[in-house]
Amino acid sequence: MTTTPEAVRRASPRSRRAATPPDPAKPLLPAAEPVRLLDPSGTPLRAPADYPEPPVEALVEMYRRMVVGRRFDVQATALTKQGRLAVYPSSRGQEACQVGAVLALRDTDWVFPTYRESMALVSRGIDPVEVLTLLRGDWHCGYDPAARHTAPQCTPLATQCVHAAGLAYGEAYQGRDTVALAFIGDGATSEGDFHEGVNFAAVFKAPVVYFVQNNRYAISVPLSRQTAAPSLAYKGVGYGVPSEQVDGNDPVAVLAVLTRAVEHARAGRGPFLVEAHTYRMEAHTNADDASRYRDGAEVEAWRDRDPVARLETYLRARGALDDATVAAVAEEAEAYAADLRTRMNTQPTVDPMSLFDHVYAEPTPQLVEQREQVRAELAAAQDEEGER
Ligand SMILES: Cc1ncc(C[n+]2csc(CCOP(=O)(O)OP(=O)(O)O)c2C)c(N)n1
Ligand SMILES: [Mg+2]
């Protein structure tokens, strides 16, 4: 049989197509643009098929928790100025992420927070005084992690990523359908522990949601000096982890995307990575001056994308929120802040000697020596006080 050039030309496109294997990375890839269900003014956009809009009651509850959470955050910052808190990392501007993560989970699921997540923890129902215990300078995290299914707030960057992978693997191994959600910042995705945690979770199909809050800064380091990745969500794909990016100041989209990510993990399909594009409105902590490394125009531009106002506008337009409810929520937030103020305005009673407890099961000789030194210094100070 002779093959004419014409026959080859006609046959080749199809055979070439048939020979191209499907791209295995494609199902893992995030959307080209962050998922968005509301525009910055609060006007609804068409929900993508993968991310149906959450029920309206959940969104009203989200609004309530975001308002209370913001008021808590403002109060905590004020407490640092009054000397009642040693340090406070604000999450103002990140309310949709803080509350959305909590609402996407069950109470029996585990949260692995960083120092930035106080708002998420109070939104989980943990007593705010307990949440602020560590930031007040105590040696313990204030709440019972096992009872609240919430790990202590992690200051060593990204270490919570491996803790979450281990816990989630253990839960699945014991036949429970618990999901672990690990918060992580943009800067911390450059840490080895982030990569080790995501890789372990992927290989062993641990039910973890890695939730990257990309607030565009790691203290003073801007995102452009942190990574050359097109989006932090692409960091999951290299480990075989399906990943998504979402507008982190769009509360409806955040809840929709995280709900799907949690469902994916709970169904036994392994970890999921979500990157939320958001912005830290305040300085890194009260000890930082953000005006030294970012200009006011940038901050103002993000003020226009405020997540609380965005959700309020949307819910009012839908008829799901009225003046009376808005006023009642504001009143609840004020009462919450007043109660926190009162309880934080007391001098905590701490025994300096407790510094040495719980360090080791058997104290080292150095620790014993240091303990004796502190005991002697305290006794001498007390004698001096008595003589005056
Ligand atoms: C292992 C480690 N290295 C450095 C630090 C100091 N540090 C504290 S916060 C921070 C920036 C982290 O930025 P990012 O991950 O974006 O989180 P954000 O503070 O913006 O929420 C750094 C470098 C640390 N806590 N731990
Ligand atoms: Mg950051």
Measuring from each residue's beta carbon to the nearest atom of ligand 1, which residues come in under 6 Å? Answer: 116, 155-157, 185-188, 215, 217-219, 280, 284
**Which residues sit opposite 218 in a β-bridge?**
221
Candidate from 94, 114, 154, 219 with most ligand 1 atoms within 8 A of CB, to mutate: 219
Query: b/e string for 145-170 if b means 16 or more Cβ within 10 A?
Result: eeebbbbbbbeebbbbbbbbbbbbbe
Among 323, 205, 252, 269, which residue's Cα sits nearest to residue 97? 252
pLDDT tens-digit series, residues 19-69: 788 998 999 999 999 999 999 999 999 989 999 999 999 999 999 999 999
Rounded CA separation 252/96 (Å): 8
- How far away, in angstroms, is 98 Cα from ligand 1 center? 18
Strands 272-277 and 110-112 turn out to be unpaired
pLDDT digits (tens, 9 = 90+) for 110-146: 999 999 999 999 999 999 999 999 999 888 999 999 9
Closest by CA to 206, choosing from 162, 243, 237, 236, is 162
Using a cut of 0.75, tell me whether the model's pTM lies above it: yes
pLDDT at 7: 53
Nearest CA to ligand 1 atom 17: 185
| 1: pLDDT strictly greater than 90 | no
* Selection from 167, 368, 182, 160 nearest residue 261 by Cα: 182
Contact call for residues 303 and 281 (beta carbons, < 8 A): yes
What is the rounded average pLDDT for all residues in the chain?
94
Backbone angles phi, psi at 132, to 5 degrees: -90, 0
